[in-house]
Amino acid sequence: MVRNLPAFLRIAIPALLLTLVLLPVARMLLVSLGDPGYRALLADERQATLFVRSVRLAALASALALVWGWIAARAIAGTRGVLSAALETATYLPLFLPSIVVVKGLDYFFLPGGPARALGIEIDLGNEPGAAAVLSLCYYPWAAIALGAGLRGLDPAWSEVARLHRGRWATFRRVEGPLLAPYAVFAALLVFVFALSDCAVPAALRVNVYAVEVVTQLSFYYDMPRAVACAMPPVVLAAGLSAAFLIVARVHRTVGSRPRAAAWRGSALAAVPAGALAAVSGALPLWMHVRTAGSAGSFSRAFQVAGREALTSLWVASLSTALLLSAGAAMGWALSRSSRGWALAAKVLLVSTLAIPGAVVGLGVVLLDPAAVLPGSLGRASPLLWAIFARSFAIPSLVLFAAWSSIEPRLLQAAALAGSSRLRAGARIALPLLAPGLLAAGVLSFTAALGELPASMLAAPPGLMTLPARIHSLLYFAEDRIVASLCLALAFFALAALGITLALSPVRSGLRLDAR
Amino acid sequence: MNRVPIVLFALLAAACNDSRPEVTVYVSLDEMFSRPVLDRFEAESGIRVLAKTDPEASKTVGLVNKLLAMKDRPEADVYWNNEPLRALVLKRAGLLEPISPEAAADIPARFRDPDGRWFGIAARARVILYHTELVKESEAPRSLWDFTRPEWKGRFAIADPLFGSTSTHVAALFATIGVERTRALLAGWKENGAVVVAGNAVARNMVMDGQIAACLTDTDDANEAIELGRPVRMVYPDQDGIGTLVFPNTILLIRGGPHPELGRKLVEFLATREVEAELARSKSAQIPVREGIPPHGPEFELSRIRAMEVDYEKAAGALEASGEFVEALFHR
């Protein structure tokens, strides 16, 4: 038994954690399957319209994000030193800003009376293309990460040799493109599922898609069968796409591969559009919130309105991060050491969880009622913590899977041969190598937990409201100055976490979001 | 790095440690106005208040539906509703305990349930708000039917009539002026290009910002725009006709709630004249239903408003039919 314990754990850990994450959805599904009208709802004409609109929006966002991600990845790879570091930081900034902060900031910019109109730019974001554009700006850093990993894996010598005989475009088509294709498809898939489940952006821009419809059905009508009927198609779609990609592209073998020694050469001019993208997706929303807030008095009033919720968000996000990091590390280890088939199945389920509408998770947790079992205030907060955990678990798991995969197993074998115990080898060898991945997973988990909206709205018990939920409730009611001040506070918390992470990270390696 | 577990443990301990008695209240009144009242109760009684509010876009309906769905194991002790019709829905579902706080004895009978299951305080009215730079006073709308006239095509906004006080208004019209006349009015609005938005505050904001000429909203939303100094004016519609809908907040004690005795204490507190006076003084300018409580301004004095005579029981009965009609007309 002791000898087989690692093998047992490699199966048990993912099984247990995925059960915890998927149990709320399963509960909702059971409730709905018992409803006689559920199947009829799936065939409802409105469902078809919603499906087409949601997929179209997510696909458009994904396509745009792929373009932005390519621009950013090439610029980062093609520049050096301070410029490269600055571009990388600016590109990744939207990852640490909750999407409600980004969408409201851009909304203020383009609103009638806003700076855009003064510059003669008349763009209305409150439609499908507008929502797709905003979603692409929120999530293109993920595309940049994936494509950047692909670029680092390319040997520039091959391109140079090919260009001796063919033109640039032919070289891209025949050499670079096929090698980058798995990364591009993975990037597109990741952004697609994020865009499919995002509620904050379409809700703020009043575009009705699955994620918003599920919140409507659950929080307005409390219609569980209809909400689940809306939730299941995107989940099945995400699961199908993930499975197809992971099987066909075999990306699980490429993620975690070591970078080539020679660097990709690109033009420094590529930094200009990349910088512009980073400015629009990160700096511009923040600047608009500062401009709209107007004065320190607005912050004071905002904290009178929502100070309690700000504190709640901080401690909930901190506690959630601790839980996510521990579980993510265990999951990442188990997947990196598992058989290919089991790891593939687990990763498909993990990516699919990103597509589950938060409201379904939130209400599923409420129906499971963990507060009835756990005592005290922590028990009362448990539905909220569980909902945030279920929504965000995939992120640290995937980041730490990449981190664990990059650790050369022979290092640990050598330590074992030298007489070191597993614990000692883990602490002295694995942990330092994992440190960048842990820091990256930690800050991403904190941001995800801090910015989570739909699940929190439904799962939060009375007396516990998070800051994003409070901002959402104030969107229509309160003055823009108060909303902008609260968005800035949310951004500040996320960026402070990033700052602390950068301060803690080893000086040489810095924060590597690809966890190498 | 060694300090991190200690900090986390401290956070965990803080999260676990609160031994005060607590009462759970669902609140449909906007949090900015209800929170100071509940904070005062918490400070005076030492009872921790756990409040759950609903967002603007699903005002009242979401919490009522949740109460109905969880009637076998209710989470809430008290429901502070912002209108009376859904109080009656909950009463019919058998979810309410009888309450008769002493402090509520001077509330007029028309704002109290005859069976003692709810009482009303601090009312609002459904008003028209218009932008004074876009609309001359002589052309200002003074009736709900004015929005069916050609000169108002596409120039007015209403909150989604499936939720909140707009749904209450529609149901009240069904009960007061009849189904056919109300349907004709709503169809006239739709045909005349009514802009349907997520909530009363959204409609108010559009008028405030000059995006639209007029809207139908509540007195609390309208007053906020006036106090911000925006070029807007408020009108009580149909003062020469059917009257303006005036509807109170309603306080209910939920049957089977986890803390019934503490819930009663909260109910007794909310029944006091001080609470109604506080709501009248606040920016929400709630209209006192009891005599002797100073209103926010003369325009918020109940005796000066010709109120629509509504049979609440009949209106509550019309909620479902009016909701179905509205959904078919505005959402499909």
Closest-CA residue of chain A to B66: A222
Residue A454's pLDDT is 83
Question: For residues A351 and B209, what is the distance between their CA atoms, to the nearest angstrom?
Answer: 43
Residue B16 has pLDDT above 60, yes or no: no
Q: Which residue of B has its CA nearest to A463?
A: B50
Residue B66 has pLDDT above 50, yes or no: yes
Q: How many CB atoms lie within 10 A of CB B36?
A: 13
| Distance to chain B for A191, nearest Cα, Å | 28
| pLDDT at B60 (0 to 100) | 67
Q: Residues of B numbered 107-136 whose beta carbons fall under 8 angstroms of chain A's beta carbons: which are they?
A: none
Tell which wins on pLDDT, B132 or A78. Answer: B132
- With CA atoms as reference, the chain A residue closest to B70 would be A367
- pLDDT tens, residue by residue, B143-158: 999 999 999 999 999 9
Give the tens place of pLDDT for each residue, B94-126: 999 999 999 999 999 999 999 999 999 999 999
CB contact under 8 A, B201 and A477: yes
Cα gap A205→A134, rounded to integer Å: 10
Minimum distance, in Å, between the CA of residue B34 and any CA atom of chain A: 12
* Residue labelled with tokens 């305080």: B121
Is residue B61 within 8 angstroms of chain A, CB to CB? yes
The answer for B27, left when phi > 0, alpha when psi is -120 to 50, beta otherwise, is beta
Q: What is the pLDDT of residues B209-252, one digit of tens each?
A: 888 999 999 999 999 999 989 999 999 999 999 999 999 999 99
Q: Are B158 and B194 in contact (CB under 8 A)?
A: yes
Burial A291-321 (b: 16+ CB within 10 A, else e): ebbeeeebbebbbebbebbbebbbebbbbbb
Taking CB atoms and an 8 Å limit, are A305 and B32 in contact across chains?
A: yes
Q: A315 contacts in B (CB within 8 Å)?
A: 11, 14-15
Banded pLDDT at B17 (limits 50, 70, 90): low
Q: Which residues on chain B are in Cβ contact (under 8 Å) with A376?
A: 16-17
Mutate to test the interface with B, among A214, A318, A443, A473 (most CBs of B within 10 A): A473
Q: Which residue of A has its CA nearest to B1?
A: A504
pLDDT at residue A510 in the model: 41
Cβ-proximal residues to B229 (8 Å cutoff; 6+ apart), any chain: none
Nearest Cβ partner of A220 from B11, B58, B75? Answer: B58
Which has the closest alpha carbon to B137: B237, B239, B234?
B234
Best of A206, A222, A292 to mutate (most B CBs within 10 Å, chain B):
A222
| Cα separation values, A224 from A216, A418, B65, B329, Å | 11, 58, 11, 24
Residues of B with CB below 8 A from A465's CB? 53
State the pLDDT at residue A516.
41
CA distances from A61 to A89, A91, B21 (A): 22, 17, 49
CA distance B215 to chain A (A): 15
**Inter-chain CB proximity A220 and B51 less than 8 Å:** no
Rounded to a whole number, what is the distance in Å from the CA of B124 to chain A's nearest CA?
Answer: 17
B14, A315: Cβ pair inside 8 Å? yes
Structure confidence at residue A506 (pLDDT)? 61
Does B71 contact A at CB distance below 8 Å? Answer: no
Q: What is the mean pLDDT of chain B?
A: 90
Phi, psi angles (nearest 5°) of residue B22: -135, 150
Query: Are B53 and A473 within 8 A, CB to CB?
Result: yes
How much is the pLDDT for B59? 62
How far apart (Å, rounded) are the C-alpha atoms in residues A191 and A186? 9
- Residue B311 pLDDT greater than 80, yes or no: yes
Do residue A376 and residue B211 have CB atoms under 8 angstroms apart? no
Which residues in chain B are contacts of A464 at CB distance < 8 A?
50
Spans in chain A with pLDDT lower than 70:
1-4, 39, 42, 158-159, 162-163, 219-222, 248-268, 476-478, 506-516
Angle between helical axes of B61-69 and B85-92 (0-180°, round to 10)? 10
B12 touching A, CB under 8 A?
yes
Q: Does B10 touch chain A (CB under 8 A)?
A: no
**The two three-digit tokens of residue A215, written as one number:** 């919140």
Q: Which range among A397-406, B59-68, B184-193, B256-265 shows the weakest confidence by mean pLDDT?
A: B59-68
Q: Do A473 and B31 touch (CB under 8 A)?
A: yes
**What is the per-residue DSSP string for A42-99?**
HT-HHHHHHHHHHHHHHHHHHHHHHHHHHHHHHHHHH--HHHHHHHHHHHHGGGGS-H
pLDDT, residue A507, reads 46
Among chain B residues, CA nearest to A381: B15
Chain A residues with CB within 8 Å of chain B CB? 112-113, 206, 216, 219-222, 305, 315, 318-319, 322, 376-378, 381, 457, 460-465, 472-473, 475-479, 504
- Across A366-370, B49-53, B292-296, B321-325, the highest mean pLDDT is recorded for B292-296
Which chain B residue has its CA at the smallest distance from A454's CA? B55
Q: What is the pLDDT of residue A159?
A: 67
Among A147, A238, A144, CA closest to A194: A238
Q: Which residue of B lies nearest to A471 if distances are taken between CA atoms?
A: B55
Closest chain B C-alpha to A195 CA, distance in angstroms: 23
Least CA distance to A472: which residue of chain B?
A: B55
CA distances from A405 to A252, A254, A443, B199, B206 (A): 10, 10, 20, 51, 54
* ipTM of the modeled complex: 0.75
Nearest to B8 among A322, A378, A381 (CB): A322
**pLDDT the model gives residue B55:** 65
Q: How far apart are CA B171 and CA B323, in angstroms?
A: 8
Helix (H/G/I), strand (E/B), else coil: B274? helix
CB contact under 8 A, B69 and A222: yes
Give pLDDT, residue B90: 95
| CA–CA gap between residue A28 and residue A231 (Å, rounded) | 10
DSSP at B193: T
Q: Do A219 and B62 touch (CB under 8 A)?
A: yes
